[in-house]
Amino acid sequence: MNIQWLKFGILIVISLLNMSLGLLIFKKNSAKQKCLNYFGLICMSTGIWAISIGSSLLIKNVGVYKLLVKLFYISATCIFIFFALFAEEFIYKIYKKNIYRYLILIIFSIFLIFIVSNQFCIDTYTDKYGLHEVENKKIHLFYGIYIIMVSLYSYYILFKKFIASNGINKNILKFIILGTLVPFVIGIYFDWYFPQIGKHYLDWIGPIFTAIMNLSIAYLLFKHD
């Protein structure tokens, strides 16, 4: 079997798992809790991210490939944003008025303009693995700094809640922190750092670990439902 088709198959399974998990979360969230809605959106974003990366492995048309690149950068960014919103709302809301939330969304809007307008992915190249994007390195560097800062903000909130909590809430927050930190680090490493240094052939690994993260969180939420 062609290795690209194997990667595609793995990412399709990952996408379907995440999409199904997201729909299940929305269905079970009868109380309309914001944190569960944000978690459902994390799962849906992960599903879109996985299927767009998987499809890009097989695409030969440059125009379609560039559309998929836009889709997987937008969906990947949404994972970090929705995780930050999830962290704000999980167990209890830590801020009533939060300027950081608006700052995160404003900066995302700026990156969205760059991504959609073809200033983010400026060209493509082909190797034995298929088509790959050529990013504007300066914009891509600032993009990486942005998602790292959003991640640090999310974990600052979670650690703040962890320190202030006791009993079962403390254990739940510990599980969330430990269960998400490694997948996020791996995702940033393979899907931002590697492309930043011109290596694009391992970007399919990130969605696998993010899916493991989502399944772990879902288990925790359903266990204590």
Spell out the domains of the chain, with CATH numbers in brackets: 3-223 (1.20.1070.10)
Question: What integer pLDDT is reported at residue 225 of this predicted model?
Answer: 54
**pLDDT tens readout for residues 34-65:** 888 999 999 999 999 999 999 988 888 888 99
Asked if the model's pLDDT at residue 129 lies above 80, the reply is no
Q: How far apart are the first and last CA of the chain?
A: 42
| 224 or 25, greater pLDDT | 25
- The pTM (predicted TM-score) of the whole model is 0.89
Question: What integer pLDDT is reported at residue 53 of this predicted model?
Answer: 92
Instruction: State the alpha helices, DSSP H only, in 117-205.
Output: 137-164, 167-188, 194-196
Q: Is 138 exposed, middle or buried (0-12, 13-18, 19+ CB in 10 A)?
A: exposed
Question: What integer pLDDT is reported at residue 31 of this predicted model?
Answer: 64
Find where tokens 């399709």 sit: 12
Name residue 223's amino acid.
K
Question: What integer pLDDT is reported at residue 30 of this predicted model?
Answer: 66
Nearest 5°: the CA angle 213, 110, 67 is 65
Mean per-residue pLDDT for 138-157?
93
Q: Are 153 and 84 in contact (CB under 8 A)?
A: yes
Name the token pair of 110: 């700026």
- Confidence label for 97 from pLDDT (cuts 50, 70 and 90): low
Find where tokens 């969906």 sit: 75
DSSP 197: T
Q: Which long-range contacts (CB under 8 A, 24 or more apart) does 117-126 make?
A: 118/66, 120/70, 120/73, 121/66, 121/69, 121/70, 121/73, 124/62, 124/65, 124/66
Question: What is the average pLDDT value for the chain, to the nearest integer?
Answer: 86
Asked if the model's pLDDT at residue 91 lies above 70, the reply is yes
